[in-house]
Structure 1
Amino acid sequence: MNAAATETVPLFEHLEFEFLLEYDVFAPSKRGRTRVHQPPDLFRGFLHCYYKDVYGTRPVARELQHGLVWYYCGLDKPPSRDTVDRFLTDLEHVIDDVFDSLVEQAAARGLLDSTYSIDSTHVEAIQYNDAASWNYDPTAEEYYYGFGCTIVSTGAKIPIAAEFTQAKQANKETAMRVTRDALAVDTPIWMLGDSAYDILDWHDLLLAAGVVPIAPYNPRNTDDPKDIKYRVEDRIKKHSEDIRLKQSILDETYNDRTGVERTNDAVKDCGLGHVCARGRVHARTEVFLALCLRIVVAITNYERGNGPGCEKL
């Protein structure tokens, strides 16, 4: 067994990928040439490649031709580039379910905690991806060519909800949808976001669910700004006359928001920063593959007795 294969075998031994077979999208086509797929095996192959910093259908196909790599990923033979490309296209139909299943496996192992954080990050694309666009990143204060991704994370750099967006800055609808997806996993005590999440509906949604949202108050263009530091200080008065939150507690809790930034960096190391696909469909699938790999690494480290926050095995 070569070194490349032995290093990534532990990525898969504790995880369940069989659910992929339940989807009709991977069944042989009824007309024309039969399309043969090995869903869990090719998924393992992609995880191996992303872990080894191999991205793009041509490099992935080339990597899976090597030695015993394809064998220890469970494949019967090395896949062709066409097979890899077709699988990536088909995977787009179920990648959300794959991601959700891995989040459930992380939750079952107790890897989530009571504080969720939400943030958006930029996703750079290759110049030949006509579906991407030039966007401004206010954090870096520069323009980039690509997409965006909004992520909710918790625990040891574990993404639990996400959405692929055209630009880094998520709109209100995306923020609400990703937040609902996160609440479907479990109900935390706190939900942290930067001033971009100073959204009344976002706060009311969380408070109604029994979650305390903490996002800095943004006075915007108002002529009469409120004397508050966090929006929740005002919104909680409308939900309860008895509950008051000390600003010192809000400050201390909000300091934990850096966790989502560390999650973003960890996911970028898993491939989020290397979207080599052309088109929006493949780009979104590659982004979620990176998210899946981050969860797989966290679970594997936990199963091996290491810290789940470690970014390498």
Structure 2
Amino acid sequence: MHQPPDLFRGFLHCYYEDVYGTRPVTRELQNGLVWYYCGLDKPPSRDAVDRFLTDLEHVIDDVFDKLVEQAAICGLLDPMYSIDSTHIEAIQYNDAASWNYDPTAEEYYYGFGCTIVSTGPKIPIAAELTQAKQADQETAMRVTRDALAVEEPTWMLGDSAYDILDWHDHLLAAGVVPIAPYNPRNTGDPKDIEFRVEDRIEEHSEDVQPKQSILEETYKHRTGVERTNDAVKNCGLGHVRSRGRVHARTEVFVALCLRLVVAITHYERGNAPGGEKL
């Protein structure tokens, strides 16, 4: 009988070694040294790996939250959060995925999206699988609330897709300064502002006047979340090999967990936690 922590350790090993999908994972864990050093009593069967992935669906959020909590205890979080979405390619026979357009790459892909809030040295602290690359407003708000539940930052940075009034007002009410470029969209009378927060603060407070130079300088740090996206993709985020949305989400969160494990391990060894290889 395999213990869940040992099988989870096996999955993390496989993702670290760029091995994805239940068949390849099973083959990798048949290696004598691998299953032994992962703490397994014997090589797991394909059925055992399948069952574990199904059972993991029910606790993967808790595992991720515990790792985020450990990263916070290690002091790996900083007062600047960034939110962004990235694309996730899926296998063609995952009928829960769909064709999406990635404006960054200027091409279509078959798969999902993932919205991530990150901070510090490429630390993901909140995330959600989405049907398309860009999250809808409800998901963006939920991921933002999840991030604030970890620790409340001073700043929250997002691109123009987060020029959302509710998003700004929720953050301001929590004492967090949101910085997202103003998107005039189809308005016939665009505001003379660079960031939406300039308008929201002016509307809600007569005493506070944001300094545009500070907003501009702070916004430059938003690229940190793009580096986090790349780091998590190196941990398997871009390799969803299972069928169905639920299994796909589980695989995404395994990749997020691996990134946290790598960062925490670097910290505990006295290395720079932003490193992507141990």
Provide the TM-score with structure 2 as the length reference. 0.99
Partner of 2:62: 97
Which of 18, 32, 50 aligns to 2:15? It is: 50
The SS at the match of 1:68 is helix
2:75 pairs with 101, 104, 110, which one? Answer: 110
Partners of 1:64 and 1:239 in 2: CA distance: 58
Amino acid at match of 1:72: Y
Give the letter aligned to residue 143 of structure 1.
Answer: Y
Partner amino acid for 1:137? D
**How much does 1:37 deviate?**
4.7
Q: Given the alignment, which residue of 138, 147, 150 partners 1:173?
A: 138
Cα RMSD (Å): 0.7
Distance 1:175 1:119 in 2: 9
Tell me the amino acid that sits aligned with residue 289 of structure 1. V
Listed one character per residue, the Cα deviations across residues 6-45 of structure 1 (whole Å, up to 9, x for unaligned) are xxxxxxxxxxxxxxxxxxxxxxxxxxxxxx5511110000
What secondary structure sits across from 1:164 in the alignment? strand
Q: Give the corresponding residue for 2:174.
A: 209
Query: Residue 208 of structure 2 aligns with which residue?
Result: 243
3-state SS in 1 of match to 2:255? helix
Aligned residues: 278
Give the distance between the partners of 1:236 and 1:179, measured in 2 at CA.
19
Separation in 2, partners of 1:95, 1:258:
27
Matched, 1:186 2:148: no
Residues 1:234 and 2:209 are matched in the alignment: no
Q: Which residue, out of 107, 112, 133, partners 2:98?
A: 133
Q: Deviations over 1:248-297 (max 9, x none)?
A: 10000000000000000000000011111111111110000000000000
Separation of aligned partners in 2, 1:195 and 1:309? 27
Please give the per-residue CA displacement for 1:191-238, whole angstroms capped at 9, x wherever unaligned.
000000000000000000000000000001111110000000000122
Segments ≥4 residues shifted beyond 3 Å: none
Q: Which residue does the alignment assign to 1:144?
A: 109
Distance 2:91 2:70 in 1: 33
**Structure 2 unmatched ranges of 5 or more:** none
Structure 1 gaps, min length 5: 1-35
Q: 1:61 aligns with which of 26, 39, 58?
A: 26
How far off its partner does 1:239 sit?
2.5
Counterpart residue type for residue 190 of structure 2: P
| Equivalence for 1:123 | 88
Q: Distance in 1 between matches of 2:58 and 2:2?
A: 14
Are 1:37 and 1:87, in contact at CA under 8 Å, matched by a contact in 2?
no
Q: Secondary structure at the match of 1:202?
A: helix
The farther-off stretch of 196-205 and 272-281 is: 272-281
Contact kept, 8 Å, 2:154 with 2:176, in 1: the verdict is yes
**Aligned equivalent of 2:119, options 151, 154, 164:** 154
1:77 aligns with 2:60: no
Distance 2:209 2:82 in 1: 22
Tell me if structure 2 keeps the 8 A contact 1:129–1:279: yes
The alignment-based identity, stated in percent, is 86
Q: Is the 8 A contact 1:159 1:295 kept in 2?
A: yes
Q: Give 1:71 deviation, angstroms.
A: 1.5
Q: Counterpart amino acid of 1:77?
A: K
Check conservation: 1:219, 1:225, Cα contact below 8 A. Answer: yes
